[in-house]
């Protein structure tokens, strides 16, 4: 399935390259040239409040980085976590090459940078600081989940 067909029906957003990315924790302190490269390598997609971005079990995968707005992570019809500006989702299904482990629905209008699953490895190896920050966020998520179950 082509990337553009995958996002048929949602609004793509065009803005000045990298103009607002430096405000996000994933991209903080990156030089303007790298911010521009990141912006060029991603599709910007916007969703209205109440839309489903991913449904649990979906085979399609992509990495989504929230530029603005708020989403809910839903597992087995239970809201589990709220993600907001600067957070990311979709990485688990991409990295493990498995169907989506959770559904994602918008709580507010949302704008995301999206990297199609097939391009995530190249994106992360091209931007190692971003990959490291994502790994740190994953470690925090794992620690929080471990403490919750203890």
Contact 26, 55 (CB under 8 A): no
Task: Give the whole-angstrom CA distance, residue 12 versus residue 42.
Answer: 11
Q: Could you tell me the residue ranges of all domains in the chain?
A: 3-144
Task: Give the whole-angstrom CA distance, residue 134 versus residue 47.
Answer: 23
Q: Model's pTM, two decimal places?
A: 0.84
State residue 143's pLDDT score.
85
Strands 52-54 and 78-84: unpaired
Position with higher pLDDT, 142 vs 12: 142
Q: Which fold has domain 3-144?
A: Jelly Rolls (2.60.120)
pLDDT digits 0-9 by tens, 81-92: 999 999 999 999
pLDDT digits 0-9 by tens, 60-78: 889 999 999 999 999 999 9
Q: Check whether 94 has a pLDDT greater than 80.
A: yes
List, as one string, the DSSP characters of 99-111: --SSEEEESS-EE
Residues in the chain, total: 150
């Amino acid at each position: 399935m082509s990337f553009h067909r995958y996002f048929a029906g949602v609004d793509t957003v065009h803005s000045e390259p990298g103009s607002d990315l430096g405000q996000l924790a994933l991209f903080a302190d990156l030089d303007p040239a790298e911010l521009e490269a990141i912006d060029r390598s991603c599709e910007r997609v916007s969703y209205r409040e109440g839309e489903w971005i991913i449904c649990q079990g979906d085979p399609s995968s992509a990495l989504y980085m929230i530029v603005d707005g708020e989403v809910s992570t839903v597992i087995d019809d239970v809201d589990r976590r709220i993600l907001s500006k600067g957070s990311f989702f979709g990485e688990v299904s991409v990295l493990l090459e498995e169907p989506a482990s959770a559904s994602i629905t918008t709580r507010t209008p949302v704008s995301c940078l999206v990297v199609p699953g097939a391009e995530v490895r190249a994106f992360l190896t091209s931007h190692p600081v971003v990959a490291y920050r994502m790994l740190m966020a994953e470690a925090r998520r794992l620690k929080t989940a471990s403490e919750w179950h203890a």
